[in-house]
Structure 1
Amino acid sequence: MMIKPNSVKESGLLWEPNDTWVLNSNLTEFAKQVGKSALPYEHFYRWSIAKPEEFWSAVWDFADIIGEKGEEVLIRPIDGGMQGTSWFPNGYLNFAENLLRGDEKRTAVIEADENGDYRCLTMEQLRSTVAKAQAGLRALGVRTGDRVAGIVTNRVEGLVALLATTSLGAVWTTCSPDFGPQGIVDRIGQVKPKVVVASLDYHYNGKKFDIKDNISTVCEMMDGISTLVTIGDSFGLYFNKSLHVMNWKELCQNDASSPQFVRVSFGAPLYILYSSGTTGMPKAIVHSVGGTLIQHLKEHQLHCDVKPGDVMFWYTNTAWMMYHWLVSGLASGAAILLYDGAAVLKDDPGILWGFAEGFRVTHFGTSPKYLELLMKNSYQVNQKHELSRLRSVLSAGAPVSPEQFDWVYDYIKNDMIFASCSGGTEIIGCFVMGSPIHPVKRGEITCKTLGMAVDVLDDRGASVLHQKGDLVCTQPFPSMPITFWGECGDERYQDTYFAARPGIWTHGDLAEQTIDETVIIYGRVDTTLKPGGVRIGTAEIYRVIDQIPRIQDSIVFGLPVDGDEEIVLCLVIKEGNLGSEMADTIRKEIRAKASPRHVPHRIYCVNEVPNTLNGKKVEGAVRSVVLGKPVKNKGSIINPNCLEEYVGLSEREYK
């Protein structure tokens, strides 16, 4: 139900579910099946982490996972730590089999693009297409454990390649086609794929990009490839080494009509995903078949209330973990909407909402960057689109400001769930997110997810409330990575998440938990500012900056000075120059709405801010350039050339 404006000011409440929402939710039904009550949620949550064997076994049953569960659910390592935990050790299943299920006549996939073109596939059509691609891959020698890599756009062919690969018990890994050759090789080159499936062009913001030269260079640089499967005409590709090349139609040119599924162990590898790579070579993170599936089913069905017949969408490319999260929606009986192109077009800032309206989307996934673009375009979604089927808007990738919470309910829809989520590629899921039985408070993530023993610890290792600390997880969970691919993978995995606190996963987020059991994320610890030794999240500054109309974009970082750290703010101004008066206004706003400690010492005007493909600001890269240090991996940055502007920045005049 909608909350009245006056009560928002007093309590922060923006929305709360009525009795019908709560009673009809999957979460309430799940609680009944395990003989408990979903409310109060804190009690139900504590049961889920105190009795992990009972909880995860019940999730398997509730989601009706296809496969053999086995008698045991959890085997802990002798040292009692998290790393090395074995889940469903006697379980066998196939990932694609669980996604390619249900009514064959229902719509399974919708593909749309910038031109407004679209196509729909029923489950029967999807299964048939996967069967043909599976037969083609099998003929190329792909077997259980082999790696197949996709350099693909967010279209049906990429999805089919993923499902065909996993149906064979093989491992799927992917990289977005808008990466440069070195960025692609730095990622999929690590795992030596047997087969590469590659788009030869892509469209973005009205422009077509031919990437045949990039694909040729990638294949020249990488070892171990036996076959390149092209989506598009392969004329113009060149190689100095022997390589079998075939197009997508040739791969699928066979009589197969029904896929065969190779069941593998619960802990067998499914995906290899990659960290952003902004602080070094991207980590190749290996995720398991069962851990990925059961985590996504839990999040979709219990936290997002996804039901058969729903339509799920997330604006993403094929490399981001949210693409893989979206794909798993098929296992809950939902249709998934794949969109290939820019989120906002010059002549149509609301193209995504047009598709949401036309295809009756129930769950719309996005990012704070996209919400910011809509806000700055004054695009009133609820005035332009009929969204009666929409039940939830979800956001991930960065912290959502309180003002963005307000905007969502004012200008998208006032009676729905808005769920800010936080987790990561490392866990291919979420530590904290929304639920259908919780109220929504501005600026706060609704709850800790079931089965995840999430806490916020200070430097002493003590759990703290209403105080910033490190987001941690203190008990094992099924979607923990198997390892990092490559030499010394287990050791690198240990050093990344368990070195700070042995036996406890330290995620790398600066966070705060409240007495209401909600969570606030302030940003990554590795970009946290420390003026005067006090930790400050960059999100607290961006929240203020984003409300100033003349500012188009911004980036903030810390500059070491005389044993301390000065806050540096770089701004992209829409029009005009950054004068002293504007700089003074910015400082006053930050002082009033954040704190005196948040006020930047230096403010510069720049032309562009570096971002990753997922819209994250790359503060660490800017800081490295300003300090004269090398940027360890430019391949993750969509606009790396703009970093040249930051060379010698500290010597320039500032306001």
Structure 2
Amino acid sequence: MLWEPPARRVAEASVTRFRGWLAEEHGLPLAGSAALQDWSVTEPGRFWDLLWEFCAVEGDRGDGPPLTGAGMTGTHWFPSARVNYAENALTRHGAAPGIIAVREDGATAVVSWDELRRQVARAAAGLRRLGIGPGDRVAAVVPNTAHAVIAMLATASIGAVWASCPPDAAPEGLADRFAPITPRVLIGVDGYTRGGQVFDSLEPLAHLARRLPNLAATVVIPYLTSDALGRAAEVGVPALRSWDDLLAVEEELVFARLPFDAPLWILFTTEAGGQPRPVVHGHGGILLEHLKSLAMHLDLGPDDRLCWQATTGEVMWHYLVSGLLTGTTIVLYDGSPAHPDLSILWRLTEAIEVTCLGLAAAFVEACRDSGLVPAALADLSLLRTVGAFGAPFAPDAAAWVYEAVSPSVAFTPMSGSAELGTALILALPTEPVRAGEAGPTLGCAVRVTDRADTGGELVVTAPLPSMPVFVWGDPTGAWLYQTRLGRFPGWWWQRERARATAAGAFAVGDVAFPALIPSGLRPGP
């Protein structure tokens, strides 16, 4: 055991309050986390229904049951509900920071909750003026910036569908991703910085836009220079509009409440040597799943600041944006995590007073292997939680966190996928931390096939709300069946090896995708 939560932290945790609320308001006395986990998977309808109530989800719950049907492909969640992800991300008001965005060269933007709501309203009005409505796709080639979050929330607020990639992705790879989903608007930046170098994005953006024939507009954000629009015109960006044009009109912030499974965003996943597959997630499923994960497991709330190492093409960037659902300030870092050296994210944690830091598993191991001692370089006393996404779970990496970062943080390894849009394995802050393992998330029925003591395949044995609504270009579901649902009929195959532990948790080791890219995700976008 590496860490045991203090009694005060256990008492103040959201998951503890949730258990108390279940007992007091609904007559469900669940004695501890194991009992809560068991109940959440044996009575999934009631669990997700009561989570909706406890988290005060904005929307129309409807009178129907929380789920109908059965099986991975036959279950329908909250069929009479109407919700909007963006409405729930923007419930907080006031002058406190909603977003703190830091660029590699030190340029920093702070956007208050009130200003965030105002800019989202303006961007949504701009999209509507372009004729964009429910179901239309908005594609973006943007770094991890406030502009990206504003554009994504504006897209969601009107019921359009968001899809994004970072600007350092290969141009042909961008076309492979975006062309099949036929976006109506393309948003991009004039350039970005990485590793101390400046890169121009306008030529690749123009090339991409010419490959997308249905565009109503290509919106250029002047991220690095004030003359971005003129330079974009010079390189022939088609249907050119400026970011200021998009946000030109002040309008009231309104939200289109949509069916629970209405498309929210698209995440791209690839098999080795294959074409990117656009996986579509729904408003309601992501809303409930991310609320559960961020509020219950990471214990986030209005007093927290969340920073996660990710780019806009990765599932964990979308997870980071969902920090807004809990009223948390999200901290965006656009830059290399190794420039000028591996201490940059730890120094940022001190400077921005980050309380929850998410890192790629590969980055944690790189810090350990380099001999870095973050606690000697930065004051990390406000840091409460460290998450590491990606497999395998390295026990010595967890030990390094307690030796070199802080002995008082709750550290959790995490495993999930772009297809599910979330984590399956993620510890609770009320449980002890043991090296190289973590438990399943609430509401997630996880098990290991074959011999649990020596390891087997990690599978999910019951549907989750955040499972894909559909995969674009796969009307029969053949690709999803082949890659996730066919090997173990009736179960979701996570394509990771795992071992069940004596503590009821899982140690995950990735054999299907042994190489990790710097984001901590498997090879892909």
Q: How does 1:56-205 map to 2 (within 5 A)?
A: 56-77=48-69, 80-205=70-195
Aligned-partner SS, 1:34:
helix
Residues 175, 188 of structure 1: 8 Å contact kept: no
CA distance in 2, matches of 1:436, 1:419: 9
CA distance in 2, matches of 1:437, 1:470: 27
Q: Does residue 209 of the first structure (1) align with residue 199 of the second (2)?
A: yes
Among residues 482, 487, 490, which one is paired with 1:503 in the alignment? 490
Q: Does residue 54 of the first structure (1) align with residue 49 of the second (2)?
A: no
CA distance in 2, matches of 1:326, 1:616: 15
CA distance in 2, matches of 1:43, 1:245: 56
Q: What does residue 317 of structure 1 align with?
A: 311
Q: What does residue 385 of structure 2 align with?
A: 392
Residues 473, 505 of structure 1: 8 Å contact kept: yes
List per-residue Cα deviations over 1:375-399 (Å, max 9, x = no partner).
2332211112112211100010232
Among residues 250, 256, 262, which one is paired with 1:255 in the alignment? 250
CA distance in 1, matches of 2:135, 2:440: 34
- Are residues 71 and 239 of structure 1, via their aligned partners in 2, closer, same or farther at CA, if it must alter by over 3 Å? farther
Deviation at 1:612, TM superposition (A): 4.1
- Are residues 44 and 487 of structure 1, via their aligned partners in 2, closer, same or farther at CA, if it must alter by over 3 Å? closer
Among residues 293, 301, 312, which one is paired with 1:307 in the alignment? 301
Q: What does residue 22 of structure 1 align with?
A: 10
CA distance in 2, matches of 1:103, 1:179: 35
CA distance in 1, matches of 2:368, 2:382: 23
Q: Which amino acid aligns with 1:58?
A: L
CA distance in 1, matches of 2:121, 2:448: 46
Q: Which amino acid aligns with 2:246?
A: L
- Are residues 184 and 382 of structure 1, via their aligned partners in 2, closer, same or farther at CA, if it must alter by over 3 Å? same
The number of aligned residues is 516
Deviation at 1:172, TM superposition (A): 0.4
Among residues 499, 505, 517, which one is paired with 1:518 in the alignment? 505
Q: CA RMSD in A?
A: 1.9
Deviation at 1:501, TM superposition (A): 1.7
Aligned-partner SS, 1:510:
strand
Q: What does residue 585 of structure 1 align with?
A: none
Aligned-partner SS, 2:463:
coil
Q: What does residue 425 of structure 1 align with?
A: 418
Q: What does residue 40 of structure 1 align with?
A: 32
Deviation at 1:433, TM superposition (A): 0.7
CA distance in 2, matches of 1:195, 1:40: 49
Deviation at 1:194, TM superposition (A): 0.4
Deviation at 1:91, TM superposition (A): 0.5
Residues 470, 507 of structure 1: 8 Å contact kept: yes
Deviation at 1:196, TM superposition (A): 0.5
Q: What does residue 334 of structure 1 align with?
A: 328
CA distance in 2, matches of 1:239, 1:185: 22
CA distance in 1, matches of 2:175, 2:229: 20
Aligned-partner SS, 2:487:
coil
CA distance in 2, matches of 1:108, 1:188: 29
Aligned-partner SS, 1:104:
coil
Residues 280, 471 of structure 2: 8 Å contact kept: yes
Q: Which amino acid aligns with 2:519?
A: N
Aligned-partner SS, 1:520:
strand
Q: What does residue 490 of structure 1 align with?
A: 477
CA distance in 2, matches of 1:515, 1:61: 34
CA distance in 2, matches of 1:395, 1:615: 8
Q: What does residue 614 of structure 1 align with?
A: 519
Deviation at 1:237, TM superposition (A): 4.1
- Are residues 615 and 30 of structure 1, via their aligned partners in 2, closer, same or farther at CA, if it must alter by over 3 Å? closer
Larger Rg: 1
Moved more, 323-332 or 369-378: 369-378
Q: What does residue 413 of structure 1 align with?
A: 406
Among residues 273, 282, 295, which one is paired with 2:276 in the alignment? 282
Residues 219, 239 of structure 1: 8 Å contact kept: no
Moved more, 489-498 or 58-67: 489-498
List per-residue Cα deviations over 1:156-199 (Å, max 9, x = no partner).
11111001100101110111111111100111222010001011
Among residues 470, 476, 491, which one is paired with 2:463 in the alignment? 476
List per-residue Cα deviations over 1:219-248 (Å, max 9, x = no partner).
122232221001121334479999421111
Deviation at 1:75, TM superposition (A): 3.6
CA distance in 2, matches of 1:496, 1:382: 42
- Are residues 425 and 489 of structure 1, via their aligned partners in 2, closer, same or farther at CA, if it must alter by over 3 Å? farther
Q: Which amino acid aligns with 1:247?
A: S
- Are residues 504 and 213 of structure 1, via their aligned partners in 2, closer, same or farther at CA, if it must alter by over 3 Å? same
CA distance in 1, matches of 2:522, 2:114: 41
Residues 130, 164 of structure 1: 8 Å contact kept: yes
CA distance in 2, matches of 1:617, 1:293: 24
Q: How does 1:346-361 map to 2 (within 5 A)?
A: 346=340, 348-361=341-354
Residues 216, 238 of structure 1: 8 Å contact kept: no
- Are residues 110 and 489 of structure 1, via their aligned partners in 2, closer, same or farther at CA, if it must alter by over 3 Å? farther
Moved more, 34-43 or 20-29: 34-43
Deviation at 1:109, TM superposition (A): 0.5
Q: Which amino acid aligns with 1:368?
A: A
Per the normalisation by structure 2, the TM-score is 0.94
Q: What does residue 226 of structure 1 align with?
A: 216
Q: Which amino acid aligns with 1:421?
A: M
Deviation at 1:47, TM superposition (A): 0.6
Residues 28, 37 of structure 1: 8 Å contact kept: no
Q: What does residue 449 of structure 1 align with?
A: 441
Deviation at 1:616, TM superposition (A): 5.3
CA distance in 2, matches of 1:391, 1:75: 35
- Are residues 221 and 397 of structure 1, via their aligned partners in 2, closer, same or farther at CA, if it must alter by over 3 Å? same
Aligned-partner SS, 2:167:
coil
Q: Which amino acid aligns with 1:255?
A: E
Residues 483, 489 of structure 1: 8 Å contact kept: no
CA distance in 1, matches of 2:318, 2:337: 19
Aligned-partner SS, 1:234:
helix
Q: Which amino acid aligns with 1:398?
A: A
Give the unaligned 5+ runs of structure 1: 1-12, 459-463, 528-537, 539-554, 556-610, 619-635, 638-655
Residues 313, 337 of structure 1: 8 Å contact kept: yes
CA distance in 2, matches of 1:321, 1:213: 27
CA distance in 1, matches of 2:466, 2:520: 25
Aligned-partner SS, 2:399:
helix
Q: What does residue 530 of structure 1 align with?
A: none
Deviation at 1:72, TM superposition (A): 2.6
CA distance in 2, matches of 1:282, 1:494: 16
CA distance in 1, matches of 2:273, 2:391: 17
Work out which structure has the larger RCO, using CA pairs closer than 8 Å and 6 or more positions apart in sequence: 2
